[in-house]
Amino acid sequence: MNFTLLFPNFKKRAVTFSYDDGVVQDKELTEIFRKHGMRGTFNLNSLKSGSVKKRIDKDGVEIDCSHLFLTGNRDVYRGMEVACHTANHPHLEELGYEEQFVEYNEDIENLRGIYGKNVVGGAYPYGTYNAMTLEVLRKLGLHYMRTTRSTYAFHRPFNWLLWNPTIHHRDPRLKETVDRFLKCNAELPILYIWGHAYEFAIDHNFDLMDELCARLEKEEDLYKGTNEEIYGYCKAAELVYSRDGAFINPSDKDVYLLGEDGKQYCVKAKERLVYDDGK
Ligand SMILES: [Zn+2]
C-alpha cells in the first residue's frame, strides 16, 4: 500500500528554529520558546564565551550584544539543542583543512564538556564554507549543518550538511511564508526559521517572535523539534517501505504514516506492521 510519511504523533508539518552565536539575548528568546512549547537549536562559539560586544540600534543607541558566559549560564538552553558554530567564528573558507578541523572539533569538545551532551550538528559561521569544510564535517561525524541561504520552501534538504533554512525572522516575507507553510500539503514539510537573538534587541521586537510562537502553538497538526530531532526523524522515516501486506520499519525510531486507505499507522522501530488491504 502506498503511504505518506507523517511527523511524530501523526503531525503533518514540523517547525524548527536555529539561532547563532550564543548571545545574552538567548535568555529571553529561549524563554519565549519554552513558554509556547517550541524547540530550538542554538549554535554556540565556545571560545567567544563571555566576550563583550556592543551593537547600535536604529536610534543610535548602544545595545549590549555580548556573548553569553556559557559555563555560568548552562540553564539558558534547558529544553533546547546546543550545537556547534566553530570555536572562534572565523571565515572557514580562508583556513586550511587542519585549522577548520580544529575550529569545529574544539567547539564540539568544549560544548560537550559544558553541557554533558553530544554535539551532532550546527551552523556555518557567516554562512561560508568550501569543499574542505564538508570533508571536516564528515570526518567529525556531524549530522547536519545550516547555511544562511533562505529557500522560502519547506522541503527536506538534499544534503543535510548544506541545510538551507526556510527564512530569516527579519525577512519581510516572514508572514506570507508562514501562511503558505500552514497550508502546505507536501510530505514532511519543515518550516525552518533562523537568526540571531540580538537582532530582537536591536530591532526592539521580541514581540514578533512571541506572536509567531503563539500562533504556531495553536496549530494542532504541528510537530515542534530541534534541528537534530527533525534530522533524526526524517532519516528514520525515509527507510520505511511497504511489502507483502506490511509496512516495514528498519530504523531505530517509531515512524508515523498515513496509508492510502486514509488510516494512520505507527510502525514501531525495527518492526513490521501488517495492514488490512481489503483483499
Ligand atoms: Zn554566527
- Cα distance between residue 133 and residue 271, in whole Å: 37
Residue 257 has pLDDT above 80, yes or no: yes
Query: What pLDDT does residue 279 have?
Result: 58
**How many angstroms is it from 24 CA to the middle of ligand 1?**
14
Q: Are 185 and 175 in contact (CB under 8 A)?
A: no
Q: Give domain limits for the chain.
A: 13-227, 239-274
Confidence of residue 246 (pLDDT cuts 50, 70, 90): very high
Confidence of residue 278 (pLDDT cuts 50, 70, 90): low
Query: What pLDDT does residue 277 have?
Result: 76
**How many angstroms is it from 126 CA to the middle of ligand 1?**
6
Q: Cβ–Cβ contacts within 10 Å for residue 116, how many?
A: 9
pLDDT digits (tens, 9 = 90+) for 177-230: 999 999 999 999 999 999 999 999 999 999 999 999 999 999 999 999 999 999
DSSP code of 99? H
Average pLDDT over residues 141-170: 98
Average pLDDT over residues 84-108: 98
**How many angstroms is it from 45 CA to the middle of ligand 1?**
8
**How many angstroms is it from 109 CA to the middle of ligand 1?**
18
What pTM was computed for the model?
0.96
Average pLDDT over residues 135-147: 98
pLDDT digits (tens, 9 = 90+) for 111-121: 999 999 999 99
Average pLDDT over residues 42-51: 96
Average pLDDT over residues 93-99: 98
Closest CA to 46 of 143, 122, 138: 122
Fold of 13-227: TIM Barrel (3.20.20)
Mean pLDDT of the chain: 97
**How many angstroms is it from 89 CA to the middle of ligand 1?**
6
User: Cell 527536506, residue?
Assistant: 156
Straight-line distance from the first to the last Cα atom of the chain, in angstroms, rounded to the nearest whole number: 12
**How many angstroms is it from 198 CA to the middle of ligand 1?**
11
Residue 29 has pLDDT above 70, yes or no: yes
**How many angstroms is it from 66 CA to the middle of ligand 1?**
13
Residue 19 CA, distance from chain mean position: 9
**How many angstroms is it from 32 CA to the middle of ligand 1?**
21
Residue 276 has pLDDT above 90, yes or no: no
**How many angstroms is it from 202 CA to the middle of ligand 1?**
16
Q: Cell numbers at residue 185, please?
A: 500539503
Confidence of residue 41 (pLDDT cuts 50, 70, 90): very high
**How many angstroms is it from 189 CA to the middle of ligand 1?**
26
**232, HSE (Cβ side, Cα atoms, 13 Å):** 12
DSSP-assigned letters across all residues of 54-90: EEE-TTS-EEE-PBP-GGGGGGGGTTSEEEE--SS--
**How many angstroms is it from 20 CA to the middle of ligand 1?**
5
DSSP-assigned letters across all residues of 154-172: -PPPSSGGGB--SEETT-T
